[in-house]
Amino acid sequence: MRILITEDDAALGEALRFSLTQSGYAVDWVENGALADKALHDAVFDLLILDLGLPQLDGYDVLKRLRKHDGRIPVLILSGRESAGDKVHGLDLGADDYLVKPFSLDELQARVRALLRRGKGSGNPKISAANLSFDTVDRIASIGERTLDLSMHETAVLEALLKRLGKVVSKEHLVEQIYSYDRDVGYNAIEVYVHRLRKKIEGSGLSVRTLYGRGYALEPRASA
């Protein structure tokens, strides 16, 4: 799950990025509306957290432009503007929720989970394959009743592979799912995560196949 934060208050932006990263999301943070507009065109996000008072392009304009080409991504507005008029205006422009500053990070996290859950459409955020199930919102994988002890990066790799079960997933795609889109990472790290994941999903009836030069595929074990 990738989240874009648009917030020009550096302390708040950093706190949000830290908190959401700890929860296992891939998080990008930009500090003005023009950069948010660009990021929303360049990459695919699962959620946008949007401040209203922003340099260059304000939050309302970012939202207006976004909704012209993407009606799908959930948007959570953060604002110090408490008037009912601002809330109504934001929601009318296509925001899904509205949080007035100051707020607690716990509340923000709860709203993020709710929006991501709703964003999945079906109301069921679980993906199941063979004996393995994965809750895409709570970020918990289990084999039968047993919860797997996965790091946030291993979790992100598993999610990306599960979403394309039986199909090849490139290392580039895995890197995108794990890291912020503007960060440079080597592919060696991906190999390490896949290696660990293979061991941890033993007993799931699934295995990760390596397709040299192309990527990985999560598949049912032939003799499971």
Which string of x and - marks every residue 6-35 that binds Ca ion (by CB under 5 A)? --x---------------------------
Counting beta carbons within 10 angstroms of the beta carbon of residue 132, is it exposed (0 to 12), middle (13 to 18) or buried (19 or more)? buried
User: Which span (49-57, 87-95, 130-138, 185-193) binds Ca ion, by CB under 5 A?
Assistant: 49-57
CB atoms within 10 A of CB 220: 14
CB atoms within 10 A of CB 31: 17
DSSP conformational letter for 15: H
What is the helix, strand, coil percentage profile of the chain, to 5? 40, 25, 35
What's the min distance (Å) between Cβ of 204 and Ca ion? 45
What's the min distance (Å) between Cβ of 78 and Ca ion? 8
User: Which span (24-32, 43-51, 88-96, 126-134) binds Ca ion, by CB under 5 A?
Assistant: 43-51
> One-letter amino acid identity for 76?
L
Q: Does 51 bind Ca ion (CB under 5 A)?
A: yes
Per CB under 5 A, the list member of 19, 43, 53, 67 interacting with Ca ion is: 53
Nearer residue to Ca ion within complex by CB, 53 or 94: 53
Question: Angle at CA 31, nearest 5°, toward 96 and 183?
Answer: 100
Q: Does 97 bind Ca ion (CB under 5 A)?
A: no
User: Which span (1-9, 58-66, 84-92, 127-135) binds Ca ion, by CB under 5 A?
Assistant: 1-9
Tell me the two tokens of residue 80.
């110090």
Nearer residue to Ca ion within complex by CB, 13 or 24: 13
Report how far residue 1's alpha carbon sits from residue 26's, in angstroms, rounded to the nearest whole number. 6
* Residues making contact with Ca ion (CB under 5 A): 8, 51, 53
